[in-house]
Amino acid sequence: MAETKGPSTRRPLLGGRRLAPGWIAAGVVAAVVVTCLGAVLLAGVLRGGIGQEMTGSSVAYDEYAPGLSAPQVVEEVVVEREGEAYGRTAVQATVAVSGPEQERLIIRTGSLTLRVDDTLAAQQAVEDLVAGWAGEGAYVVSSEQRGGDDDQDPYISMAIRVPAARFGEAMDTIADLAVDVDSRTEDSDDVTEEYVDLAGRLEALEAARDRLLEIMAEADRTEDLLQAEEQLTRREAEIEATQGRMQYLSQSAALARISIQLQPYALSQPVGQRWRPAETVREALEALLEGAQGLVDFLLFFSIAVLPWLLALALGLYLLYRIVRWAMRRQRARQMETEAESGT
């Protein structure tokens, strides 16, 4: 009998050798991956998009010498097109604020708690002291009075700003107003290093802003202009914040702040208040009237909200009592009849 052969199951040959199915599958997967990567790269090129990268400021801190040499602040502005910087789009502004001549900025604050014979007179003396230095920038920040009446002086809280050069003089002058000084504190905070850092940062930001303005003037594409404008907006906000912080530090260093608490000295106050019997009678009548009003309000509330329920409950209990009593009487009568019949 002739042997019938089925379909050939031989593997494909390459150079006379058969290829394993695993090698075939690996080749197909590699081809698909390469095709996808090529499609992504081609789409990016055709899209013509502009990548944007902006690096923040990087600060290289050197050890501060006694001459207060400032660190270098580096600010970069980078606008990219298709992943690469084009034209003159990258600028690096490096600014070093140095200076043995740099004046130190020290913020001074103080607080005084004083007991004085007359708090109002002491407050006026402090205000006069501040007014004498008004030409140098001194002013009263706040003033508050608490308590006090015809016989007692009020408690007074004040806050003033005086020139930093007169800080010690002001503290001594105000303390001399007191009969007794409860507390006196003086603090100082050296912010020179922070101020120098901010100055360098500000110059770097301004250089970056100027370069962005140049980029905007030279831009020939809308995408480039939009990138530069977005970066410029952020730089302007950082410049304003830096300037505000520098202004705060400089003003705080120029004018020291002193907080003052003025309290009446006990021995200088009257022993007792004047007797006012009319006020006592008035207070008693007001208390009596308030009590009567409270009693009437309670009776009205009780009569409307509580009394009906109490009456209904009492009526129910009375009816229950009558029913129970009637049942007990009837049972007793039946029992007596039963006993009478059994006796006969």
DSSP conformation class of 79: B
The predicted pLDDT at position 103 comes to 76
What is the identity of the amino acid at 73? V
Both tokens of residue 202? 């500000």
- Which CATH code, of 3.40.50, 3.30.70, 2.40.30, 1.10.3470, is assigned to 106-189+256-268? 3.30.70
Task: Please list the residues that pair with 259 across neighbouring strands.
Answer: 111, 159
Tokens standing for 25? 């599958």
pLDDT at 292: 93
Strand bridging mode 91-96 / 139-146: unpaired
Question: Structure tokens of 52?
Answer: 């944007």
Neighbours of 177 (CB within 10 A): 21
Q: For residue 33, what pLDDT is reported?
A: 61
Question: Within 13 Å of residue 87, how many CA atoms lie on the same side as its CB?
Answer: 15
Structure tokens at 81: 């097109």
Q: 255-266 burial, b if ≥16 CB within 10 A, otherwise e? A: bbbbbbbbbbbe
Every domain of the chain and the residues it spans = 58-100+193-253, 106-189+256-268
Q: Quote the DSSP letter at residue 15.
A: T
pLDDT for the residue 308: 92
Token pair for 1: 């009998």
- Is the whole model's pTM more than 0.75, yes or no? no
Cα–Cα dist 3/185, whole Å = 116
Say if residues 258 and 174 touch (Cβ distance below 8 Å).
Answer: yes
pLDDT score at 210: 86
Q: What is the pLDDT of residues 108-143, one digit of tens each?
A: 999 999 999 888 899 999 999 999 998 988 999 998
Interatomic CA distance for residues 248 and 226, integer angstroms: 34
CB 90 within 8 A of CB 168: no
CB 137 within 8 A of CB 161: yes
Q: Give every residue of the chain whose pLDDT is below 70, as ranges.
A: 1-102, 148-151, 266-276, 344
Residue 242 phi/psi, 5° resolution?
A: -65, -45
